[in-house]
């Protein structure tokens, strides 16, 4: 059975909330969690085995500069909720990123005649899938 192309989710319908407030100026979010694997060498075993180790969450958000809110927030922790809600999809997906901390804050980056776009890299500690998308 072929994929129903109308079910492919477009990022156009992505929303980013910081501490519950919709950030209408943000048009890009990327968040990834990586797990460090520990290599184990066991006697009598020719294979390297692996054990789960600590995890690390990293991400980037970017969009148009509208206010100085991120500068005012500083380096304090906050929560991000990502929501994908394409009306033609099987539903919406929400993911909570916990204990988000920015890596750095852009103080000035502008050029005459161009929109000011800010990119902010961050780390997070834990995530939670609040609403999964399930094919119906």
Res. 4 pLDDT band, cuts 50 70 90: confident
Burial class (CB in 10 A: 0-12, 13-18, 19+), 82: buried
Write out 80-121 in H/E/C secondary structure.
EEEEECCCCCCCCEEEEEEEEEECCCCCCCCCCCCCCEEEEE
pTM: 0.87
pLDDT tens across 53-85, in order?
999 999 999 999 999 999 999 999 999 999 999
Other Cβ atoms closer than 10 A to 50: 11
Res. 87 pLDDT band, cuts 50 70 90: confident
Tokens standing for residue 60: 């980037």
Burial class (CB in 10 A: 0-12, 13-18, 19+), 19: exposed
């Amino acid at each position: 059975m072929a994929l129903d192309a109308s079910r492919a989710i477009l990022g156009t319908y992505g929303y980013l909330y910081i501490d519950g407030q919709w950030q209408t100026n943000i048009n890009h979010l990327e968040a990834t969690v990586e797990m460090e694997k520990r290599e184990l060498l066991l006697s009598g075993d020719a294979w390297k085995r692996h054990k789960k180790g600590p995890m690390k969450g990293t991400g980037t958000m970017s969009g148009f500069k509208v206010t100085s809110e991120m500068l005012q927030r500083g380096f304090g922790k906050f929560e991000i909720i990502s929501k994908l809600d394409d009306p033609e999809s099987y539903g919406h997906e929400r993911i909570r990123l916990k204990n988000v901390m920015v890596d750095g804050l852009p103080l000035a980056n502008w050029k005459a005649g161009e929109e000011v776009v800010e990119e902010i890299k961050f780390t997070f500690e834990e995530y939670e899938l609040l609403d999964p998308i399930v094919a119906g």
